[in-house]
Chains A and B, each alone.
Chain A
């Protein structure tokens, strides 16, 4: 299916933010990598946001992220950047309808919302396409530590989708857990939840 000609290139959200074009925040990962991130993107990280809101910390000093590796942070930044871009596709309410706008909150633009939803779907499908289960786990831990709700929700949803309809062994491998039931215990659970296995073929 041909993607509709994108006649309106997405405005670069960084440039759109007044006066923030040059502001970056420096982050230092556990393995010593330094990242310079646009302020708008870095503020998506709850942890970073509160760090800079707490005291007038100079934005030039690199903020240490001892629990996040360079590769994970790089993926996280890619996600948040793209997410901001997609969110900016939905035009905010203009000043003319200030009264109704508070209540409506971007309700008006159905087409833009639909387009944004579609972009998000495609982007999210691409994002995790080549990630191994280990990579995904690392990303979940990073998203949790950095307190990025949207990313965490997306990652957890994706994992749930991955382990759904798969065998018990698959789930064990993903979580890195050993099956610790005795055969009798396992049989008992299978019986108790027989209905959940009715009609399901384990792969």
Chain B
């Protein structure tokens, strides 16, 4: 039987889970040993079990320090294209301990440590990811960004997690097109340095980045952005003329300014919007809105004539006057509507007290997905009113909470089917914290 030629063996070795797997492969034969040196990535995370073992005094023989392993792996590997090092996510949950914090062994954004190996391999590196150990990194500022910008002139993708980062000495990195900062304290209050030094970013992910005062994302080439931000900043601004996809999760920004004329896919989650200055979104097609006060948010939204797919949900139940008619006033051209459990409840309750008038846009609706928390004899009349107004509806999916007993849920679907057989009905079940289940009905 033919053996696989070296290039194909390298392809396989390159897809091994991480560098410890690769290291074990070196034992297979001399050939594999030399071929594994050609694998262009180093990928190693410190697992929870390794961490616990390293803290257990009775571990014998003593474990090799994680930093030593990394240094040895990347030493002299000028062909490396991708380096991913860090601690597993589970280590984020370890509670703070004075003694632990003083240690250095897992402080990975330590410039002294990174300087031992990055300058050597930085030139060809395309992707770098460092997930630090928060307990050891949170109380000291790292100048690692400056070091990276000095050494890595071809870097395309950078990810740093769980660290306190300074932007002093950060030099422009024109090749970088993707930046992810997660759980970071960043000393760049208004993102001025970020905008200046990473001008060609196409992807920017700021997830739980603190230290911001009046952050303004101003990037001319940005296409995709994910921004989860606390309530600390006074204002949030995004000026991104090419932005197509945005997910923004905030709380109660005093001012929110969005100048993103090409935005097509927008997911906005916020509790309340005080000042919501958004110019028109002439290309908006997919919109997802989550808010405590959907009514106020939707009424502040500029015309949504181009929106075809809308998802809405209420985070907490607050009767705000949010109703079905109002949706179609702002979004008259929907073909798909997805209502989360909070939104459905609000809309249904409004219907039971004030009814439904109907809007021309309802005739354009083709598909509805609704999440229900409860199901009673009134639910059907609400659905019936929807069917009455959405005369071109072809698909409707009702995802009913597990707490509703099966006969009730079945009964609802049967009534719906009987009332409107032209619609394709689908039934599902949901519970908090697990994936939805679709139920196949016998035909």
What residues make up the interface of A, taking CB atoms closer than 8 Å to B? 1-5, 7, 97, 99-100, 103-104, 107-108, 110, 134, 137-138, 140-141, 144, 152, 156-157, 159-160, 163-165, 168, 171-172, 175-181, 186, 189-190, 193-200
Contact = CB atoms under 8 A, between A and B. Distances in A.
A195 B63 contact: yes
A107 B49 contact: no
Interface string B242-254: 1011000000000
A4 B17 CA distance: 32
Interface size class for chain B? 35 or more
B440 interface: yes
Contacts of B9: 175
Interface in B387-411: 395
B383 interface: no
Contacts of B99: none
B50 A199 contact: yes
B265 interface: yes
Contacts of B61: 194
B16 A160 contact: yes
A175 B24 contact: no
A94 to B, nearest CB: 9
Contact of B15 (A2, A104, A160): A160
Interface stretch (B29-37, B111-119, B146-154): B29-37
9 contacts: A4-B440, A97-B285, A108-B308, A141-B4, A160-B16, A163-B12, A175-B32, A193-B27, A196-B23
B100 interface: no
Given A108-B286, A137-B4, A156 B15 contact: yes
B2 interface: yes
Contacts of A190: 27
B437 interface: yes
B439 interface: yes
Contacts of B439: 2
A195 B15 contact: no
A177 B11 contact: no
Interface of B: 1-4, 8-9, 11-17, 19-21, 23-33, 49-50, 53, 61, 63-64, 69, 223, 242, 244-245, 262, 264-265, 283, 285-286, 306, 308-309, 395, 424, 426, 428, 437-441
A179 B33 CA distance: 11
B4 A140 contact: yes
Nearest to A157: B15
Contacts of B14: 156
A156 B11 contact: yes
A150 B404 CA distance: 44
A137 B2 contact: yes
A2 B28 contact: no
Contact of A1 (B4, B17, B27, B437): B437
Contacts of B3: 175-177
Nearest to B30: A180
Contacts of B31: 177
B91 to A, nearest CB: 16
B395 A179 contact: no
A178 B262 CA distance: 58
| Minimum-distance CB pairs A-B, first 3 | A196-B23, A4-B438, A160-B15
A196 B24 contact: yes
Contacts of B49: 199
Most A C-beta atoms less than 10 A away, residue of B2, B4, B424: B4
B12 A160 contact: yes
